[in-house]
Structure 1
Amino acid sequence: MKVRVIERRAKSIYTRSKIPGVEWVANQYVGCAFACEYCYAKFLTRWKDYGRWGSWVEVKTNAPELARKHVSGSVVMSTVSDPYQPIEAELKLTRKVLRYMDKRNELSVLTKSPLATRDIALFKEFQTIEVGLTINGFRGREKRLFEPLTPVHEARVSALKELHEAGLKTYVFVSPIIPEITDVSAVVEDTRDFSDYYFFEVLNLRASGREFRELLRDEYPESYEALTGDEAFEEFLWGLKKEIRGLHVKAEGIETHREGWEFVGL
């Protein structure tokens, strides 16, 4: 699928975060060509009338010069895009932002792409940095239905290993966790040697959008029921917490969105 590129100049790449424990988010891109069917950032299409989510990427052309600003507190890159989506291989915008960013910034980079390993040398220039890979273990039918354009599981695990062996702090964002589909234990077993900690996120069914809700309901009715039924959800969450405790890894917690933003500690 050909992706439309929209170039614009921005006033800032840093915005205040609504994520608990995070002060700032940095987005040099808006939109993502990985086009995950469940992506929560699809809400942006209400205001950005460029077409279907995943068919366009907005590029902040002056992002490198804006990155020079020092912001106090933690910064997450990125929340409405993937900093290493396919277009980054050509534009190198994320690389330029990292080069000009104040190295005192406390930075956390999150991606699904092994392209992140290209910038290991730049990562090492930061005083405080961690690099995370979103890994959910989707393969086969689930991969084709939910996120057909993303790097495969094995490539993400390999990238995590390379980052970790380079001496960087790494983490795994296990997301989305979908009942009966996401094998949390398998993801941890594949990555435990290369991850300093884990963060677990249950699928936010509401934020995933109507089309994905209908897809999940029609193709995986048991999974849908586990996320929508009161008793079924409580049973699923209890079992998930028990499973994670048994894995004996450092876990920041489980995040759920069923009643809005909620952090459920382990």
Structure 2
Amino acid sequence: MKVRVVKRRTKSLYTRSRIPGVDWTVNQYVGCAFACEYCYAKFLTRWKDYGRWGSWVEVKTNAPELARKRVKGSVVMSTVSDPYQPMEAELKLTRRVLRYMDKRNELSILTKSPLVTRDIDLFKLFDRIEVGLTINGFTGREKRLFEPLTPVHEARVNALKTLKEAGLRTYVFVSPIIPEITDVSAVVEDTRDFADYYFFEVLNLKAAGKEFQGLLREEYPESYTVLTDDEKFGEFLWELKKEIKSLGVKAEGIETHRRGWEFVEL
């Protein structure tokens, strides 16, 4: 699928965060060519009239110069895009932003792409940095239906390993966790040697949008039922919590949105 590139200048790069424990977010791209069917950032199409989610990416051309601004606190990159989506290989916008950011900031990066390993040299210049890979273990039919354009599982695991071997602090964002589909134990077993900690997120069915809800209801009715039935969801969450605790890894907890935003401590 050809992706439309929308170039624009912006007034600021650092945005105050609504994420608990995070002060600032940075999005040098808006939109994502990985075009995951469940992506929560699809809500942006209400204001960005460029077409279907995944068919366009907004590029903030002056992001590197804006990255020079000094802000205090923690920074997350990125929340409405992937900083290492395919066009980054050519544009190197994320790399230029990293080059000019204040290295005293505490920085957390999250991506699905092995391209992230390209910038290890810059990561090492930061006083405090962590780099995470979103890994959900989707293969075969699930990958084709949910995120056909993303890097494969093995590539993400290998990228995590490379980052860890370079001496960086790493984490795995296990998301989305979909009942009957996501094998949490398998993801942990594949990555436990390369991750400092884990964060687990159950699919936010509402934020995934009506199109994905229909897809899940049709193709995986049992999964859909668990996510929409209070009693079944409660049982699933209880079992998931037990499973994660039994794995013996450091975990921040489980994020879930079934009954409003909820953070489940382990």
TM-score between the two structures when normalised by the length of structure 1: 0.99
Q: After TM superposition, give the deviation of residue 174 of structure 1 in Å.
A: 0.1
Aligned to 1:196: 196
Alignment of 1:175-214 (within 5 A): 175-214=175-214
Distance 1:77 1:223 in 2: 31
Distance 1:259 1:38 in 2: 18
1:124 aligns with 2:124: yes
Q: After TM superposition, give the deviation of residue 45 of structure 1 in Å.
A: 0.0
Contact 1:132–1:171 under 8 Å retained in 2:
yes
Aligned to 1:110: 110
Gaps (5+ residues) in structure 2? Answer: none
Aligned to 2:63: 63
Distance 1:195 1:24 in 2: 24
Query: How many percent of aligned residue pairs carry the same amino acid?
Result: 85
| Deviation by residue 1:12-45 (Cα, 9 ceiling, x = unmatched) | 1111111111111100000000000000000000
Alignment of 1:221-260 (within 5 A): 221-260=221-260
Q: After TM superposition, give the deviation of residue 260 of structure 1 in Å.
A: 2.2
Q: How many residues were matched structurally?
A: 266
Aligned to 1:45: 45
Tell me, what secondary structure is at the counterpart of 2:133? strand
Aligned to 1:4: 4
Q: After TM superposition, give the deviation of residue 256 of structure 1 in Å.
A: 0.4
| Deviation by residue 1:213-243 (Cα, 9 ceiling, x = unmatched) | 0000000000000100010000000000000
Which aligned runs of 4 or more in structure 1 are off by greater than 2 angstroms? Answer: none
Q: After TM superposition, give the deviation of residue 259 of structure 1 in Å.
A: 2.1
What is the one-letter code of the residue matched to 2:241? K
Contact 1:31–1:56 under 8 Å retained in 2:
yes
Distance 2:2 2:156 in 1: 24
| Deviation by residue 1:166-216 (Cα, 9 ceiling, x = unmatched) | 000000000000000000000000000000000000000000000000000
Distance 1:230 1:258 in 2: 8
Aligned to 1:139: 139
Contact 1:164–1:194 under 8 Å retained in 2:
yes
Aligned to 1:155: 155
Distance 2:12 2:110 in 1: 20
Q: Tell me the C-alpha RMSD between the 2 structures.
A: 0.5
Distance 2:18 2:203 in 1: 18
